Structure 1
């Protein structure tokens, strides 16, 4: 049994503030061991549950945040940027039996600690076929096309609640309770490690590939916090204005949909000015 862990940082133990996840800051350095502890707990739990192999895909920002020297020796880590499937890279090779979303968060425009979708700001909402979609739902739609179930989600309590909408059978482990976008009631690392390990052990029983889902075509819509970003986004072929601050596009598969999404957010990032956005 091979498990893929997609590891994001905003939903990690103790993380509540932008500096906690911004590479290069003292707070980021402080939070890296907490993030690594959450991932190690998931690794240990999956091996407790019978996994033979665990691959961790770094999924936050520069994708160079986890401390390799502190990882469970039984796991391997895929680190670095510019991967074809970004946050769920590795799922496409036909040898993954289940995926875990560790350290995940809610999407832009919703309640949740450090809630956002791909970009820290600028994107204020994302919808797929009219349904709100954060990174969890977007990535779940991608992995479904490879027949891989989402079996574990960790993050704040809102992220765990959100997971019921896109992975209703998945086990969850909340490491903190939402108070505001920048505040949470946090559990200690020892407690969250125990909770994540137990959830991952139970989640291993849900592993097992199934017939890939062909759910497309998908209508994807994004909303931005400034009108000029629509112009930047609509440079991508097939992406068209759908409102004053919105664009939309249609993709036959979510594989193509997430790649178009990455292109849109990359262009939007380049159009954001430091002070006025």
Structure 2
């Protein structure tokens, strides 16, 4: 939701923020633009996974009726719930830059609780992990929308992914906005073009990858080392090796443990 058209502040993207309800409408409208583009490109089915915060932000009565919605949490695969190797493409709508990057509402999964994430030796955030896990299914990421920092981050991972900047970061809670109608028209037309030029991507579900996470709290690291295979590099850093899809599911378990251990609100 942080990368949705017009949204720049926690009040826009978190209940009970004063502009959260309007943010839900904008999130649904950005999603609808991608759904329209997908069907214009010849899609026969579109599955939408509400993947922000409480994961019950999208408004079902305003969502394009041709789309099927997954809503609520917890979900074993979190932001990737519902994705299988049978899908032809992934569309990432409303994404944000990783922690430490000067982007609108930038963070990695948990506000400031996660300081850094590395996949193998490459620093990453939500975009990189999502892209790697999608690739493990053999499903290409075709589109990403968000602020210019998120688009730049996606392009660094995979220049073949089409991006739509719907705002340009001025600071972490400020942006120059693309007009709503213009941004959503760009999402729709770029989705159409992206889906007409999909790359062929072989699935690779068995290759071993290494995930390393540096937390703000040493308490989180202490608890995570109880999970088999998780080792501690230092007081605030853990690492684990597995195939990419297992790592992604395991990381969602990390988030649930960290949420139980900490009480810090995001975006502080």
Q: Smaller-chain TM-score range?
A: over 0.9
Deviations along 1:138-169, whole A, 9 cap, x unmatched? 11111112110000000000111111133321
Matched, 1:99 2:90: yes
Uncovered stretches (5+) of structure 2, i.e. residues with no partner: none
Counterpart of 2:115?
124
Q: Check whether the contact 1:171–1:199 (CA below 8 A) recurs between aligned residues.
A: yes
Matched, 1:165 2:136: no
Aligned mates of 2:226, 2:13 — CA distance in 1: 30
Counterpart of 2:135?
144
* Worse-matched range after superposition: 224-233 or 181-190: 224-233
Q: Does the residue aligned with 1:145 lie in a helix, a strand or coil? A: helix
Matched, 1:268 2:249: no
Q: Check whether the contact 1:46–1:203 (CA below 8 A) recurs between aligned residues.
A: no
Q: Check whether the contact 1:236–1:264 (CA below 8 A) recurs between aligned residues.
A: no
* Counterparts in 2 of 1:155 and 1:57: CA distance versus 1, 3 Å: same
Aligned mates of 1:66, 1:273 — CA distance in 2: 25
Deviations along 1:67-106, whole A, 9 cap, x unmatched? 11111122221112122321111222x4211011100111
- TM-score, normalization by structure 2: 0.93
Map 1:219-230; keep pairs closer than 5 Å: 219-230=210-221
Q: Check whether the contact 1:109–1:124 (CA below 8 A) recurs between aligned residues.
A: yes
Q: Check whether the contact 2:77–2:252 (CA below 8 A) recurs between aligned residues.
A: no
Matched, 1:81 2:73: yes
Deviation at 1:113, TM superposition (A): 1.0
Aligned mates of 1:163, 1:66 — CA distance in 2: 24
Q: How many pairs were matched up?
A: 266
- TM-score, normalization by structure 1: 0.90
Aligned mates of 1:234, 1:184 — CA distance in 2: 39
Aligned mates of 2:231, 2:146 — CA distance in 1: 34
Q: Check whether the contact 1:156–1:176 (CA below 8 A) recurs between aligned residues.
A: yes
Aligned mates of 1:61, 1:273 — CA distance in 2: 15
Counterpart of 2:238?
247
Counterpart of 1:3?
none
Across the aligned residues of Structure 1 and Structure 2, the Cα RMSD in angstroms comes to 1.8
Deviation at 1:38, TM superposition (A): 0.7
* Counterparts in 2 of 1:35 and 1:273: CA distance versus 1, 3 Å: closer
Deviations along 1:30-77, whole A, 9 cap, x unmatched? 211111111111111111222222111111111110111111122221
Q: Check whether the contact 1:37–1:189 (CA below 8 A) recurs between aligned residues.
A: no
Deviation at 1:209, TM superposition (A): 5.6
Q: Check whether the contact 1:233–1:265 (CA below 8 A) recurs between aligned residues.
A: no
Q: Does the residue aligned with 1:176 lie in a helix, a strand or coil? A: strand
